[in-house]
Structure 1
Amino acid sequence: MYLQTLHLHQFRNYLNQMVEFSAPKTILVGNNAQGKSNLLEAVELLSTLKSHRVTRDRDLVREGAEEGKIVATLERETGTVDLGLTLRRNGRRTVAKRGESLKRQIEFLGTLNAVQFSSLDLELVRGSPESRRRWLDTLVIQLEPFYAHILHQYNKILRQRNALLKLLAENAKPIAQNTELALWDAQLVSVGSRVTRRRARALQRLAPIAQTWHQAISSSMEVLEVKYAPNIGLEQDNSEWVQQAFFDKIQQRSVAEQYQGTTLVGPHRDEIEFFINQTPARQYGSQGQQRTLVLALKLAELKLIEEVVGEPPLLLLDDVLAELDLNRQNQLLDTIQERFQTLIATTHLSAFDRAWLNSSQILTVQAGQISPIVNA
């Protein structure tokens, strides 16, 4: 797939900017806080309808405006697709595809596939379990867009169940015989099991690819293991078994839930574990080892999405090259070549090989204004 054009209107610090992409690699160069990351964020939103930087649409709309728009033209093997996303400061967002408004956002997902790699991802190993769950969920949405609906359902059920548990805790009412809670339990188990199984299957496919990349980058000196540690356990990938394990865990934690007034069982408490040579990477991995690990994960994402979707996804590199040493930079750049359309945000061009610069479209970004550099 190839992103041909991107039009940003009242989005972040962009007033009205059209960009035409004329090469497989586009380098966005400029000082910090000029709009480079904002452009990559716009592409990320078209891919997953989520931003890894903010959760509220009002933060994406330009100051003083009521709504912002992202419009793009994407070339896929099946033909050209026009995409549109309207973000409102005080209202519901809307999406459009091929000029037609879509009633369900799920119909929008899966059209543009992209892998984002930013300096923030280097915290993936040593950061919170929530950040790892968010990373995995974003990957699963790329592989199976309907997962976004399942995840939304689960989070909605979780909020309702937590509200009831809190109420019961405040009123000191026993939860064992509560009929309403039993109904929420059933829904939590039904939908939560679907989340757990899809996460498990995605990691099962990703792990060996990441392991292969990790061996290549580390010159076969290290072995990477990626393990899914679901909150309910997962001895069998069987719907009935998973649901029963879920129910059993809820019964085990019922007293603790009663005292704490919150749900302690389910995929919202899952963990993803990384091991290097059988040693936990989070506690004992060096900074260099952790960066190698994350790079291997991102390269594995590219390959897995390409396998599942049937086309290479876009790669978005947000100020990450400066965080990698020369060896890791070369591994990444050699992998990209002309295979993946790549948008790169950077503060300087010195990290790039001259051949790379000559074959790339280079754009300068300054205060929300984008202009080409003819001779870099």
Structure 2
Amino acid sequence: MYLRTLHLRNFRNYQEQKIDFHAAKTILVGNNAQGKSNLLEAVELLATLRSHRMAKDRELIKDGEDIAQINASLERVAGTSDLTLTLRRNSRRSVAVNSEKVRRQMDFLGIFNAVEFSSLDLELVRGSPEVRRSWLDTLLIQLEPVYAHILHQYNQILRQRNAFLKRSQQSTFKDIESELAIWDAQLVTAGTRVIRRRERAIQRLAPIAAAWHATISNSQEVLHINYDPNVPIGKDQAEEVQQAFFDKIKQRSAIELHRGITLVGPHRDEVKLDINETPARQYGSQGQQRTLVLALKLAELQLIEEVINEPPLLLLDDVLAELDPSRQNQLLDAVQNRFQTLITTTHLGAFESQWLNSSQVLFVKAGEILQ
């Protein structure tokens, strides 16, 4: 797939900007806080309807404006698509494909695929379990767009169940037992769908990431990725997962009622990242942690390509500065011309002349793009 054009209106610090892409690699050069990352964020939003910065829609709209719009022309094997995402300060966002409004945002997902790799991704190793869950969920949305609906449904039920528990904190279990059973059934049904998809995604991703990690580390280290669900899943049969879910909820129901919050479910899952059988977050150098994240990102690219039968876009946001020369070369060699790549940097010194000669170089200054 190939991103042909990108048009931004009142998005972040861009007022009106159109970019035509005409090379497999585009390097965006500029000082910090000029808008390089904002441009990549716009592309990421078109692919996943999510931002790795976790920004609210109103924070994505230029100061003083009520509406922002991102428009892109995308070429795929199946044909060309025109994609539009409209963000509103005081109402819901909307999406359109070929100028036709799409009623369900889930139907917009899967048309465009991209993998973002930024310095923030080091939090995959060092950060909380929530960071790793969000990373896995974003990957799953690209592999299986219906997952966005499944996850939204689960989170909605979770919020409603938490509100019920909070309202009922002064009640006895007997008083609320029948209504709680209804919420339990809904949570288990929706949560089981989340758990099983997360498990299958990790099973597919883990061996690919381990292979990349072995290559980058010259087989000096072994990476293991394991899904550690809050609910034991046994053989990953739906009935078994549901039963285990119900059993654990029953065990924790009195504590949940006392604390007014749901303590059982995939919102408390973990993804374990181990190097040589030691948790990666405890494993020493930042260099080794960067190797792990690089392996994860290359594995994401490969897995998405295998599933959709087309290479996704790669978005590299100031990440070369975080990698030593050896890891930079590993990444750039893996990319070559296989993936259309958008790279942000503060200077061009990290690139060999052959890369520069085959790349489109754009300069970014105060929300404007200069050739």
Instruction: Tell me what 2:85 maps to.
Output: 85
Per-residue CA shift, 1:312-351, capped at 9, x if unaligned? 0000000000000111100100000000000001111111
Gaps of 5+ in 2: none
Q: CA deviation at 1:174?
A: 2.1
Instruction: Tell me what 1:242 maps to.
Output: 241
- Superposition TM-score, scaled by structure 1 size: 0.97
Instruction: Tell me what 1:263 maps to.
Output: 262
Q: CA deviation at 1:234?
A: 1.8
Number of aligned residue pairs: 371
| Cα distance between partner residues in 1 of 2:370 and 2:174 | 62
Instruction: Return 283-292 or 240-249, whichever deviates more.
Output: 283-292
1:366 is aligned to 2:361: no
Per-residue CA shift, 1:40-75, capped at 9, x if unaligned? 000000000011113310000110001000000000
Instruction: Tell me what 1:327 maps to.
Output: 326
Instruction: Tell me what 2:158 maps to.
Output: 158
- 8 A Cα contact 1:117 1:316, kept in partner: yes
Change (3 A) 1:155 1:55: farther
| Cα distance between partner residues in 2 of 1:55 and 1:258 | 32
Per-residue CA shift, 1:177-213, capped at 9, x if unaligned? 5221111100000000000000000000000000000
- 8 A Cα contact 2:173 2:254, kept in partner: no
Per-residue CA shift, 1:96-117, capped at 9, x if unaligned? 0011001110110001100000
Instruction: Tell me what 1:119 maps to.
Output: 119
1:221 is aligned to 2:256: no
Instruction: Tell me what 2:210 maps to.
Output: 211
SS at the partner of 1:357? helix
Q: Given residue 252 of structure 1, which amino acid in structure 2 is its aligned partner? A: Q
Q: CA deviation at 1:354?
A: 1.0
- 8 A Cα contact 1:175 1:181, kept in partner: no
- 8 A Cα contact 1:206 1:304, kept in partner: yes
Q: Given residue 258 of structure 2, which amino acid in structure 1 is its aligned partner? A: Y
Gaps of 5+ in 1: none
Q: CA deviation at 1:154?
A: 0.3
Q: CA deviation at 1:259?
A: 1.3
- 8 A Cα contact 1:34 1:366, kept in partner: yes
Instruction: Tell me what 1:343 maps to.
Output: 342
- 8 A Cα contact 2:168 2:176, kept in partner: no
| Cα distance between partner residues in 1 of 2:345 and 2:227 | 34
Q: CA deviation at 1:256?
A: 1.3
Q: CA deviation at 1:141?
A: 0.4
Task: Calculate percent identity across the aligned residue pairs.
Answer: 68
Instruction: Tell me what 1:15 maps to.
Output: 15
| Cα distance between partner residues in 2 of 1:297 and 1:285 | 18
Instruction: Return 46-55 or 332-341, whichever deviates more.
Output: 46-55
SS at the partner of 1:28? strand
Per-residue CA shift, 1:149-173, capped at 9, x if unaligned? 000000000000000001111x243
- 8 A Cα contact 1:141 1:148, kept in partner: yes
Q: CA deviation at 1:288?
A: 1.2
- 8 A Cα contact 1:276 1:285, kept in partner: no
Q: Given residue 191 of structure 1, which amino acid in structure 2 is its aligned partner? A: A
- 8 A Cα contact 2:154 2:191, kept in partner: yes
- Superposition TM-score, scaled by structure 2 size: 0.99
Q: Given residue 127 of structure 2, which amino acid in structure 1 is its aligned partner? A: G
| Cα distance between partner residues in 2 of 1:176 and 1:329 | 61
| Cα distance between partner residues in 2 of 1:159 and 1:173 | 21
Instruction: Tell me what 1:146 maps to.
Output: 146
| Cα distance between partner residues in 1 of 2:104 and 2:196 | 24
- 8 A Cα contact 1:175 1:258, kept in partner: no
